[in-house]
Structure 1
């Protein structure tokens, strides 16, 4: 069979091109450090690598989200720490103001200090994060959550939601608190609070309420003590303890819990598993509310408590009724501040727990990232020892093809004649 010169040239060129292609492929692998440079190199590994790379990118997004969540929670925790310090300072001032040795001027000076703490609390309640969003407004974070109304009272304009952020595939975490929870909430174990009507004309003061029996059927209900005129009694004044029914007073016998003659001087009234001690003279239609903190009848509000305390300290107390109003308001305010402090500390503990949880999720995310990187390396990364051996082999193959072509090209029948 005769082999033409064209055929020899074509076969030699094809061999050289094939050897050069294999050599360049190995060179490209060594230069990039990847075994799979093009999907055609290993379609199955390339396909799996795309999925792993996407999972790795998502894991990185969650990691970035946790950074944002940690910043928000850290700032929230710091502000709550400042608020708890402010509440403690306010409680200290109210204890000081309760002394009977202080004059009206002294109490007015304390009211001025208390007003400074009040303004500090308001500023903290309207704090923003690094992006200009209000921390305590819930999802309504584009406007101050707490504003002063025309009558000077602070009102909450945020929503009741907790702003949440996804920090992992299976974890949607609250990254801020709403103002209603922090400044208008009470801890779950908050007890009863007594609150005298501001329109009382007598000088009745109270001590307590004290818990006596949580198993009492009436424990948890709200009550009011109402004083009425009764000429048949030696003191001329009787009291009635009435229970709220469905959030309102109902004038029927079923709501009357206790009644009797009011004599004052440390008289104790026991009902609904609690005990309250009353002292002083009562006038007809005087009232004292006794309800659980945070209930419908006695909603919690840190700013309202501060406003009431400042107002009563700024008002001169000359008559017995004014002095009784001062003592009652300070006692009620101190109990409210105790509940507010417990609530702020509870919320702060919750924020701290979430910060700890972020640390745990970060550790899991870091391990997951390492696993993804290892899987990607196994799929597409290059084994340099094997690649260098292959590179040397392909280089020898290319040189051999070139040498063979040169030798074949120079062959002629005349060499054998």
Structure 2
């Protein structure tokens, strides 16, 4: 059998190319630090690595989403902290204004300071995150959620829904709260609030109501206290519920410390001289005025327009008393929302911890699949280098083996 020179050259070149290719593959693995550089290196590991890489990318996206959610909640919680301080300041001013020794000028000064607090709260209700996004407008976050109408009253024009963001595969979190739920709501179980009718001509004042019997309390029931009679024959009162049924009545004759009446688990203290037709409404807190701005507007109005009459003084005392009760409810509501934001921030920390462990597991799995064992790779590199050098030397020796050299 004869072996031609062409065959020898072709086989030698093929062997050289094969050794060079294997040497280059190992060199590329060492340079990249990866055992699987191309899918053909280990098809099964490459396929599994694609799935793990996708899961890792999704986990990182959720991590970015949590950063955004944390920023939004942190800014909202910070604003609500300022809102709480402002409401507390307003309550302090109303307590000050309730002092009977103050003059009308003093009360107007308090009203001026209270209006400043009012404007501060309005600004906080329209707070943004620094990028022009309003914090408390729900999904309508591109425009101010609270605006002043032509009559000067503040109106909520934002969205009642709250923005939600997916922070993990199985968790869709609320990353903001509606301004309506913060500034125009009261917490459940806030009790009852009494309000004197604006057209009352008498000087009756009240305090309360307080809950004295939980079992007798009619949930969601509203009441109206009506006064009748005159000075000659004496005055009487009756308490009617929503259905118009009388739940209490009697003669109205307050002594030096006033007169206390009780009905359906509630108790109120009344004082002053009524006029027939005067009335006082007693409503569950969530059925009466729940608007923080309306509360402040009512208080400012009565302080800016004082009246020296007994009826005017009664209206002042009743309005301030009602406003303080409503401010307490508003503060409780703000604190409840703030606590909810804090709980969500804590939840983000917990999810971050779980996600961090998951990321480590994915990275370890990915490393086991495609990362390079340098000790093994360097050993193989040396082996391939020796094989390549041997092939080159063999070819160099064989190419000189020709009979033509001896002719």
With normalisation by structure 1, the TM-score equals 0.93
Alpha-carbon separation, structure 2, partners of 1:414 and 1:105? 128
Q: Does 1:146 pair with 2:146?
A: yes
- Listed as ranges, the matches of 1:5-154 within 5 Å are 5-154=5-154
2:233 paired residue number: 234
1:283 paired residue number: 275
Q: Greater CA deviation, 157-166 or 77-86?
A: 157-166
Q: CA deviation at 1:408?
A: 2.0
1:178-207 deviation per Cα after TM superposition (whole angstroms, max 9, x unaligned): 111111111223111111011100110011
- Listed as ranges, the matches of 1:248-397 within 5 Å are 250=244, 255-265=245-255, 266-295=258-287, 298-397=288-387
Please list every run of 5 or more consecutive structure 1 residues that lacks an aligned counterpart in the other structure.
Answer: none
2:159 paired residue number: 159
Q: CA deviation at 1:318?
A: 0.4
Q: CA deviation at 1:414?
A: 8.0
For the aligned residue pairs, the C-alpha RMSD in angstroms reads: 1.7
Q: Greater CA deviation, 60-69 or 117-126?
A: 60-69
Alpha-carbon separation, structure 2, partners of 1:351 and 1:99? 37
2:172 paired residue number: 172
Q: Does 1:410 pair with 2:400?
A: yes
With normalisation by structure 2, the TM-score equals 0.96
Retained in 2: the 8 A contact 1:221–1:272? no
Retained in 1: the 8 A contact 2:298–2:319? yes
Alpha-carbon separation, structure 2, partners of 1:411 and 1:147? 99
Equivalent position SS for 1:284: coil
Q: 1:409 to 1:325 in 2, by over 3 A?
A: same
Q: Does 1:189 pair with 2:189?
A: yes
Retained in 2: the 8 A contact 1:219–1:273? no
Equivalent position SS for 2:242: strand
Alpha-carbon separation, structure 1, partners of 2:219 and 2:35? 75
Retained in 1: the 8 A contact 2:202–2:273? yes
Retained in 1: the 8 A contact 2:217–2:266? no
Q: Greater CA deviation, 363-372 or 173-182?
A: 363-372
Q: 1:318 to 1:41 in 2, by over 3 A?
A: same
Q: CA deviation at 1:359?
A: 1.4
Q: CA deviation at 1:73?
A: 0.8
Alpha-carbon separation, structure 2, partners of 1:275 and 1:217? 11
1:57-107 deviation per Cα after TM superposition (whole angstroms, max 9, x unaligned): 111111111111111111101110000000111111111111110000000
Alpha-carbon separation, structure 1, partners of 2:262 and 2:352? 54
Retained in 1: the 8 A contact 2:138–2:176? yes
How many residue pairs get aligned? The number is: 405
2:214 paired residue number: 214
Q: CA deviation at 1:214?
A: 1.1
Retained in 2: the 8 A contact 1:194–1:288? yes
Q: CA deviation at 1:275?
A: 0.5
Retained in 1: the 8 A contact 2:299–2:323? yes
Please list every run of 5 or more consecutive structure 2 residues that lacks an aligned counterpart in the other structure.
Answer: none
Equivalent position SS for 1:165: strand
Q: CA deviation at 1:413?
A: 5.4
1:352-377 deviation per Cα after TM superposition (whole angstroms, max 9, x unaligned): 11111111112222222222211111
Q: CA deviation at 1:415?
A: 8.8
